[in-house]
Copies of this chain bind each other. A is one copy, B any other.
Amino acid sequence: MTAAAPRRRGRPSRTDSADLPAARDRILTAAREEFSERGYEKTSVRGIAKTAGVDSALVHHYYGTKEQVFEASIEVAIGPLLSAPGSITEGPLDGVGERLARFFFGVWENPATRKALLAIVRSAVNNEVAAGVFRRLISAQLLRRIADRLDRPDAELRAELAAAQLVGIAMLRYVIRVEPLASATPEQIIERVSPVIQTHLTAP
């Protein structure tokens, strides 16, 4: 196996052996583990390949550069977050603040998703490249879709200020763990924060 040109999540060519799709999944699982435990900077394509039991060239073949492997692995990790905007922005705009807050804390209160999100936040805070990947994903897939639904000239800034309220609560509650915020119930927070999100998104 020699390194082909990077093809993100490409299908194996006819010359690949039959178990390569399984290898492709193993690589993605290994990448999530490595990035999650070591952070972006300390993770290497070689280490991911070793954990997955494949050659480094195969990692490059399927996913391209380390940055692209990282992007693929966080797309999987925050998949529920990225696929959410449809269900949140459907229905009347009146309740969009509460739907967004409820969804956000649903994701963070789930221990498995929380662990993945914390790992991504750590990588993004520590490394410019990881921050860039995170920025592209949340801008293109999450914030822009919410903004599209609002259909206003300042919609993107509105979506970002609303997201900032939620991101800040995640920082203080799950990372820094300031009290009483860290011990408040999700419902207590949703009740207080939904009107604020709503104001950011839809107030005149």
- A residues whose Cβ falls under 8 Å from a Cβ of B: 39, 121-122, 124-126, 131, 134-135, 138-139, 143, 156-157, 160-161, 163-169, 171-173, 175-181, 184, 188-189, 192-193, 195-196, 199-200
Contacts and interface: CB of A to CB of B under 8 A. Distances in A.
A11 to B, nearest CB: 33
Contact of A122 (B126, B193, B195): B126
A157 B184 contact: yes
A180 B102 CA distance: 25
Instruction: Kindly list the 9 A-B residue pairs having the minimum CB-CB distance in the complex, ordered from nearest.
Output: A168-B168, A164-B168, A167-B168, A160-B181, A164-B169, A125-B125, A165-B165, A164-B172, A135-B176
A178 B139 contact: yes
Given A39-B126, A135-B176, 4 more contacts: A124-B175, A125-B175, A166-B168, A167-B172
A76 to B, nearest CB: 20
Q: Majority SS of interface residues in chain A?
A: helix
Contacts of A171: 164, 167-168, 171
A180 B152 CA distance: 14
B126 A178 contact: no
A157 B177 contact: no
Nearest to A163: B172
13 contacts: A121-B125, A124-B175, A124-B176, A131-B176, A135-B178, A157-B181, A160-B181, A161-B169, A161-B181, A164-B165, A164-B171, A164-B181, A196-B200
A160 to B, nearest CB: 4
Contacts of A175: 124-125, 131
